[in-house]
Amino acid sequence: MEQRPLAEAAGVGKYYGPTTALHDTNLTVVAGESHALVGRNGAGKSTLVSLLTGLQAPDAGEIRFDGESAPALADRDAWRTKVSCVYQKPTVVPELTVAENLFINRQPTGRARSINWRRMRADAAELLDAWDVHVDPDARTGDLTMEDRQLVEVARALSFGARFIILDEPTAQLDNREIDRLFARMRSLQEAGVTFLFISHHLQEVYEVCQTVTVLRDARWIITAPVAELPRPALVEAMAGDSAAAQTAVGGARTAVPEDTPVRLTVRALAGEGFDATGLAIRRGEVLGLAGSSGSGKIQFAETLAGMHRPASGDAELDGDPVPFGDVRAALDAGVGCVPRDRHHQGLVAGMTIGDNTTMTAMDRLGRYGFVRADRRRSMARALIDRLDIRTEGPDQLVSDLSGGNAQKVVMARALARDPRLLVLINPTAGVDVKSKESLLARIDTAREDGTAVLVVSDELEDLRRCDRVLVFFHGRITAEHPAGWHDHELIASIEGVDRV
């Protein structure tokens, strides 16, 4: 095969103020191959994709297609003929038919510029047929399976003339049979001259459909190699990097929880949406980490403990009392505090003050008969602001004025306001600067002193490193347990599911 570079990123970089999203990264995708792009969350994959698809311009380096410079950002039509990305989130209009989605805003017109429906249907059928996509052009797009929807998006991209398609975690929401079918389609499209950039969290898939792999880590390019020449351990090593020095420094400081410490939380055979038959126990003062890829069920499990969902079966006990499910108020009263997964979505009311937000879970403690005494709220909020080192003028400032790190501390304060016995932290340091991270995680370290049981659900290895144990979720079940002191590549291997193949 002729090694012609179809798409190239040459030394590209992207910076947001002091934050480096991507630095000096190279990617060369050869025509006719399937190229895998792997890396942990935050490694820079999304940034690279946004540069390759022309959503953003690189601050350094250059994007080239067929050896020519990329079109101007505003020239969307030109970009469409070069490259297209099929995202996890659908970019089709669910209420319109497949044919309408394929020809949206470029419908074939007849006399008086009115839409020629018959021709649009015929064109759509022809297009789908040409790429061997078996979907009815008259079907409502929202009724399609995830798999068919992705293929329709691929067909639409191809109809613009693009022969370079980026698939962003296309298998995340598919079951095994659907994945097999998708891979078969990818191979036949590849034979027809389509080039793929394949992004996946599941490394075995990389070996299945790709010929070349590029690894990013910490916003930097690490390696590009033929898949055949890069065995699994080497690939995991490339993703994890060598941070053994850092982990002994922190891991060594942690003393193990004594064996005779009473158990605080017991979960038995809990099953719910996305997870099944999950049992675990956390001792007083113990910090338990939960790892797993997105969609592994770890977040639903943690949210269930915090009272946000009702499980299908199973139970949990906190100090011998049953944990109430499906009722956040009752869970709070039972002594469960929670930092929800997304502070914008569930963590904060942006239009209210820091005082209001921090004390929202504990308003019943601020006065009698439900009245909130202003002085008590202020002093409680002040105490929390101090405890978490929130950089603010005072409790009367709006949370929308705060930086990400300080806003996240407000969410943490809200979880701590009732002095919980079980603290559930979901992505506690997502989108937070390094210094805020430290003060957020400091709370984990003090759990040992007051006997709080802490459950940390996170994608960040730094968060998990502080845990006494880390359990790994894979497809809704706990598949591995790592006591403190694990190596990055061990944990990543269990998260990606390559340790048991």
Partner 1 sequence: MSDTAASAHRRGPTQPQDGGPAPVPATGSSRPPGSRAALLRRARELALLPALLVLVVLGAFVNGSFLTEANIISILGSSAALAMVVLGEALVLITGKFDLSLESTVGIAPAFGALLVLPASESGFGLRWPFGLALIAILLIGAAIGAFNGFLVVRFRLNAFIVTLAMLIVLRGLLVGATQGKTLFGMPNAFFALATDTFLAVPMSVWLAAIAFLIAGYVLRHHRIGRSLYAIGGNVDAARAAGIRVDRITIGVYVAAGILASLGGLIQTGYVGAINANQGQNMIFTVFAAAVIGGISLDGGKGTMLGALTGVLLLGVVQNLLTLAQVPSFWIQAIYGAIILVALMIARLTTGKAQD
Q: Which residues inside 431-470 make contact with partner 1, applying CB under 8 A?
A: 433, 435, 438-439, 441-443, 445-446
| Residue 248 engages partner 1 in binding (rule: CB under 8 A) | no
* Residue 462, both tokens: 């730094």
Q: CB–CB of 98/137 below 8 Å?
A: yes
Burial of 438 (0-12, 13-18, 19+ CB in 10 A): middle
User: 183 is written with which tokens?
Assistant: 């891979």
Q: Closest separation between CB of residue 375 and partner 1, Å?
A: 11
Token couple for 435 = 């210094």
Residue 376 sits in the site that holds partner 1 (CB under 8 A): no
User: Is 247 a residue that touches partner 1 (CB under 8 A)?
Assistant: no
Radius of gyration over every alpha carbon of the chain, rounded to an integer in angstroms: 25
Out of 64, 220, 382, 475, the residue judged to bind partner 1 by CB under 8 A: 382
Asked if 218 is part of the footprint of partner 1 (rule: CB under 8 A), the reply reads: no
Residue 386 lies near partner 1 (rule: CB under 8 A): yes
Q: Specify whether the CB–CB gap between 34 and 198 falls below 8 A.
A: yes
Q: Are 173 and 146 in contact (CB under 8 A)?
A: yes
Residue 248 or 403 with smaller CB distance to partner 1: 403
Chain center to CA of 347: 17
Residue 396 in the binding site for partner 1 (CB under 8 A):
yes
> Contacting partner 1 (CB under 8 A), which of 349, 379, 419, 485?
349
Q: What DSSP element (H or E) covers 65?
A: strand 60-65
Q: Which of 25, 84, 159, 361 touches partner 1 by CB under 8 A?
A: 361
**Which CB sits closer to partner 1, 222 or 250?**
250
State how far the Cα of 310 lies from the Cα of 303, in Å rounded to an integer. 9
Q: How far is the CB of 401 from partner 1 (least distance, A)?
A: 6
Cβ 312 vs Cβ 476: under 8 Å: no
> 8-23 burial by CB neighbour count: b if 16+ within 10 A, else e?
bbbebbbeeeeebbbb
Q: In terms of CB distance, is 366 or 455 closer to partner 1? A: 366
Compare residues 3 and 19 and give the one whose CB is closer to partner 1.
Answer: 19
Smallest distance from partner 1 to CB 415, Å: 9
Can you tell me which residue has the tokens 């995708």?
Answer: 29
- Residue 55: strand pairing partners: none
Q: Minimum Å distance from CB 391 to partner 1?
A: 5
Name residues contacting partner 1, limited to 306-345 (CB under 8 A).
306-308, 328-329, 331-332, 338, 340, 345
- Rule CB under 8 A: which residues touch partner 1? 306-308, 328-329, 331-332, 338, 340, 345-353, 356, 360-361, 363-364, 366, 370-374, 382, 385-387, 389, 391-394, 396-398, 401, 403, 405-406, 414, 433, 435, 438-439, 441-443, 445-446
